[in-house]
């Protein structure tokens, strides 16, 4: 798609998404193409404007997947009360919803396994054919999943996170480096990648409007990665790559959600085949963009300032500065959701305008 040149008529407000605790009121403008087309163009390396991660796409997490109920994270046609979340995931591991945290955790106590070698005898693999795919498709296709916005299926539990559910954190991180467990972990991840591919094939078959997959696998803490880049490259990257290669073969985009200080792991994220990654606030996303933005689309966080203390023109100047640094047609990025509170109407409008101008050059 050729990027259309900017027309000031695009700044007309068509509608507005109401303010919520995470994002100020968000104006939908008179775009030259749909939000879906624009997001697909960005993932293809030809952005039209700087899309806002987590805002200008539709999250899809149907209750048909047991993990979504266990994690109390359902976004689909029928509303879901998170207080009814928790319970067993697809492997039968028990989760508890913690209202004060707004999320779920594996029920504490004795881990399901203490050694990765136990999985061959203990892990019961889910029968995904028994899930009501046809019923979920009837409920969501054409109602929740529509062609106007980029539909992004979130998948809650990746590879290392799945290992944690069986072993707890300490045993899981040790299993990645223990010579007596490494082969068992690799065998488990190999079979897990096959399962995930089968699940994603069901998604693609029953929900044809899905454009991409957003897959979670946390690798770090506030200050450091959980394991070395060498360990990640050997133990996780090959199995992730198997999944991303499959999704790309089906014409779907794939983004990694991985929390923690992951500067050291970005080369592995690239090797694993992800199209995009947006780090949290503890990451220097400006530096990461500088180093790796030509190899993967980085969700760049703006310099966080108190917008209430700025005049409208200062807000616009901040937006232009961001756009001129990070909206490069030869090195595209997207606006990281962790900067969403910066999106006042003036900042958002100016970011849209300047990114449109920059990306159409």
d(CA 165, CA 86): 14
* Tokens read off for 136: 């979920």
Sign of CA dihedral 22, 26, 28, 31: negative
Residue linked to tokens 């193409």: 33
Residues 250, 204: Cα–Cα separation, whole Å:
8
Q: Mapping DSSP to helix (H, G, I), strand (E, B) and coil, where does residue 77 land?
A: coil
At residue 3 the predicted structure's pLDDT band, cuts being 50, 70 and 90, is confident
What is the sign, positive or negative, of the torsion defined by CA atoms of 240, 219, 232, 68?
negative
Q: Are 316 and 347 in contact (CB under 8 A)?
A: yes
CA–CA separation, 204 and 162 (whole Å): 22
Is residue 224 helix, strand or coil? coil
What is the C-alpha separation between 254 and 244, in angstroms, rounded? Answer: 7
Tokens encoding 270: 């690239």
Domain map (residue ranges) of the chain = 8-359
The tens digit of pLDDT for each residue in 288-325 reads 999 999 999 999 999 999 998 999 999 999 999 999 99
Q: Which residues contact 44 (CB under 8 A, 6 or more apart)?
A: none
Coil, helix or strand for 133? helix
Above 70 in pLDDT, residue 270? yes
pTM attached to this predicted model: 0.95
> Closest Cα partner for 81 from 99, 54, 96, 101?
99
> Distance (Å, rounded) from C-alpha 129 to C-alpha 77?
22
pLDDT tens digits, 98-153:
988 888 989 888 899 999 999 999 999 999 999 999 999 999 999 999 988 899 99
Find how far residue 18's CA is from the centre of its chain.
23
pLDDT of residue 185: 98
Convert the pLDDT of each residue in 35-86 to its tens digit. 999 999 999 999 999 999 888 889 999 999 999 999 999 999 999 999 999 9
- Residue 241 to residue 268: CA distance in whole angstroms: 10
Kindly report the CATH class assigned to 8-359.
alpha beta
Q: CA 92, CA 128: separation in Å to the nearest integer?
A: 13
Distance in Å from the first CA to the final CA of the chain = 14
What are 236's two structure tokens?
Answer: 């996780």
């Amino acid at each position: 798609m050729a990027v259309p040149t900017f027309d000031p008529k695009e700044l007309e407000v068509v509608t507005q998404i109401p303010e919520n605790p995470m994002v100020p009121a968000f104006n939908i403008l008179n775009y030259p193409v749909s939000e879906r087309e624009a997001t697909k163009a960005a993932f293809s390396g030809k952005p039209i404007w700087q899309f806002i991660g987590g805002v200008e796409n539709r999250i899809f997490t149907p209750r048909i997947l047991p993990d979504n109920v266990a994690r109390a994270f359902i976004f689909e046609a029928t509303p879901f009360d998170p207080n009814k979340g928790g319970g067993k995931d697809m492997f039968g591991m028990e989760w508890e919803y913690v209202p004060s945290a707004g999320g779920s955790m594996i029920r504490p106590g004795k881990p399901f396994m203490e050694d990765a070698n136990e999985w061959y005898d203990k892990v019961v693999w889910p029968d995904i054919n028994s899930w009501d795919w046809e019923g979920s498709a009837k409920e969501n296709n054409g109602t929740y999943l529509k062609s106007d916005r980029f539909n992004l299926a979130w998948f809650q539990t990746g590879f290392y996170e799945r290992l944690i559910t069986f072993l707890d954190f300490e045993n899981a991180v040790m299993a990645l480096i223990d010579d007596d467990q490494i082969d068992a972990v690799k065998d488990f991840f190999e079979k897990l990648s096959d399962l995930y591919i089968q699940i994603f094939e069901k998604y693609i078959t029953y929900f044809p409007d899905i454009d991409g997959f957003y897959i979670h696998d946390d690798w770090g803490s506030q200050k450091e990665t959980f394991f070395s880049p060498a360990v990640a490259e050997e133990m996780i990257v090959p199995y992730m790559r198997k999944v991303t290669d499959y999704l790309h073969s089906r014409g779907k985009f794939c983004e990694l959600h991985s929390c923690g200080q992951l500067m050291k792991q970005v080369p592995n994220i690239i090797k694993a085949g992800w199209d995009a990654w947006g780090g949290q606030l503890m990451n220097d996303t400006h530096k990461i963009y500088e180093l790796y933005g030509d190899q993967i689309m980085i969700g760049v966080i703006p310099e966080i300032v108190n917008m209430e203390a700025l005049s409208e023109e200062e807000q616009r100047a901040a937006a232009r500065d961001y756009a001129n640094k990070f909206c490069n047609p030869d090195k595209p990025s997207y606006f990281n959701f962790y900067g969403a509170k910066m999106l006042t109407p003036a900042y958002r409008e100016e970011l849209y305008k300047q990114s449109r101008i920059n990306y159409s050059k």
